[in-house]
Structure 1
C-alpha cells in the first residue's frame, strides 16, 4: 500500500469576524467503571499542594491537578471538541472496531461515549489517576498506566487508538506515536486530537495583554521542563515517521470568548472561554511554583489578570486545534 496523505483545513474562514453589536466590556454572563489495574498504594494516594490535588503514582510526571475542579474542566473540553467536530467523537474511518484504547483518558468521558456508540467493542481507558466513574457501560474498563513508559500491551492488538489534548503532558510524542503503531493491528487506525497551546490574534489585539503573558510564562515553563505545548501542528509528520499511511490532517480555528459575530464561532468561543478560565490556576500552579520559584500568590494574581483580559471583547484570541489520523498498513 502506498502512502496517501491528505491535509485539509476546516471550513473556518481566514478571518473570524468580530461581533461589534455589543459595547466592549469585561463580562460575558450567561453566554458562556469499574477500573481494572494492579493498584499500588501510590496509585490511591494523592499529592496536595497549593490547595490543589495531584496524582501520586509516577509523581511529578504530569503537572496538572486531578481534583474535581480539573475534572469539570476536562468535561468542558470534551463538550468543546464535540462542538468542533459536529458531535463526532473521532474522524477516522473505522469500521466495526473490536478493541479500542483511549490514552490518558482523564475522566473517561470519551471512552464511555465511544463504548455506548460501539457496544460490540472492548474499550480501555488508561490514565495515571483512577478518577473515572464506576457506573459505566459493561464494555469499558479503566487501567492505571503511564503511557510514556514502555507499553505492556501486546503488539498488533488494537483496532483503534485514540488520544486527545495531550499538550503539556507528553515529553516525546514521536516515541508515543511509534508505540501506538506497534500496538495497532494491520489495517487499524490511530487518531490524535491536539492543540497548539499558545493563543494568537489576527488583529494584534492579544499583544501585550496579561492573557498573552500568562501563556508565555506558563507554557514556557512547561517547555523548559521538556513538555511539548504545541504538538498539534507536528502530528502529521510524527505519523509519517512512525510508518502510518492514509494520513489525514485537519486544522480547526477556535475563538476564545464571545467576540465572534458568527453564531457558530460565538458558541465555540463561549465553550473555549469556559475551559480556559477553569484551567488558569490549575494549569499554572505546579509549573511556575516547582520550576520557576513563583509563589502561590504570584500565580493566582497572573491567573486573575489573564481571566480579566480573556473577558474583554476587544481582545480577539484564538487557538488552533488539530485532528490527525492514520492507518497501519495491511501488510
Structure 2
C-alpha cells in the first residue's frame, strides 16, 4: 500500500515519517484520565487518578496539538478518560477548531461515553465537529449499570439522540465480551443502523490491572464475525476513517460494521497514529511502553524548537507493531498503564 504524504504545512516544517516510512497523520490526545464511569474491563473500581497539577493545561494541550498539526497531522481525536468531564474542555475544542477553518486539519473529533452529550452536542457541532465515537457495550439497562459500575443508560441514549439532532455522525464502539454482550451484538447492530449510525466491535485489550481476569471476557472477533454471518450478509469494503477498523457492509441493513482486532489480527502495518497522554507523554504505540516526555520539552522554553526535536526523536523510535497477549498463566496485562491514562 502506498503512503500518502501529508500536506506540507505553511510553516515549511518536515512531515513526520517513522522508520517504516509510515506518515503520521492521526493524533489522539487524552485531555484527562478521569471518567464518570468505571467500566470493568477498562479500570479498577477504586481508581487513583492523577493529581490535577500533573495534567497539561488546556493551553498546553492546544500548543502540543498545534505542533503536530504543523508537522502534517490531519486528524485530531480528543479522548480520555471521558474528555467531556474535563473542566472548560469546550474552550480547547473551540480553539482547536481554528485549524479546521484554516484547512490544516481535516477532522476534529472525540471519543466519549455519551454521558455528557446532551449538554455539549450542539456546541460540538458549532465548533466544526462532524462525527464522534460513542462507547456503548450494551443496551440492557441492568447490564449497563453493572459494566460501568455507575453509568445510567437513559442518559447516554438521550445524549446520542441530542448528538444526532445536532447533525453529528455517530459510530458506536462496542467491546466484545464473552458471556456478557456476545448474544446482544446482532440486536445492537440493527439498532445502530436503524438510526443511521455505524458500529464497530473491538477485542478487549490487556491494558492495566483490573478487578477481573481478562481471559474470562476475551472474545475473538473471528468468532464474532462467524456468528454474525449466520444472520447477516457481510461484504468487505475498502472504507476507512483513518483508524484501525476494517469495515464490512451489512446487506440486510445497508449500514457499516467495523472490526478492530488487536489480538487476532493486528493492524500495525498501516499505522499512522500516535497518542499523547494528559500529562504530555507521547506513546508511539498503544501496545508498547516506550514513550517520550513532551511536557518537559514544551515547558523548557517559550519557543517550540526543543519540542519539535523531541517529537522527531520519538517518531524515529516508533516500532513496527505491538505485542498484545492475554495470558491466563500470568494474568498480567501486556501493558501496565490503563487505557484511561493513554486515551482510547
Judge same fold: TM > 0.5, yes or no: no
RCO higher in 1 or 2 (8 Å CA, sep ≥ 6)? 1
Higher strand share: 1
TM-score by length of 2: 0.31
